[in-house]
Amino acid sequence: MSKEQFSESLQEVLKEMCNRVGADYDSIDFSNGTWYNSYEWTLQEEKQFEKWLANYLYKSAKARKEIMNHSIKKKSYLEKAAREFTFQYGWLLEKNAFVC
């Protein structure tokens, strides 16, 4: 899918993801099925993005409708949706993210 086909809200979310890792949104080929493997972030950065995304969805009925296909505004549900989004489309975790 090309960027032109993305909803306004999805574009906003992807731009935010790019900004968090210093990626240029306009240069990423989102039609490539593995575009999300192009950058890495820390576990902390991923969690901060999930918090941002849950808040974004909470504040915007339009974003909930475009990204989630419904308008449920329950905070715990939106947090789960944000985790699922990053699981599916989030950047790779840095290789040392799992070292204790």
Q: Which own/partner contact pairs does 12-18 have at CB distance under 8 Å and 24+ positions apart?
A: 12/56, 12/63, 13/53, 13/56, 13/63, 13/67, 13/85, 16/49, 16/52, 16/53, 16/56, 17/49, 17/89, 17/90, 17/91
- Quick one: pLDDT at residue 95? 81
37-95: per-residue pLDDT in tens? 999 999 999 999 999 999 999 999 999 999 998 888 999 999 999 999 999 999 999 98
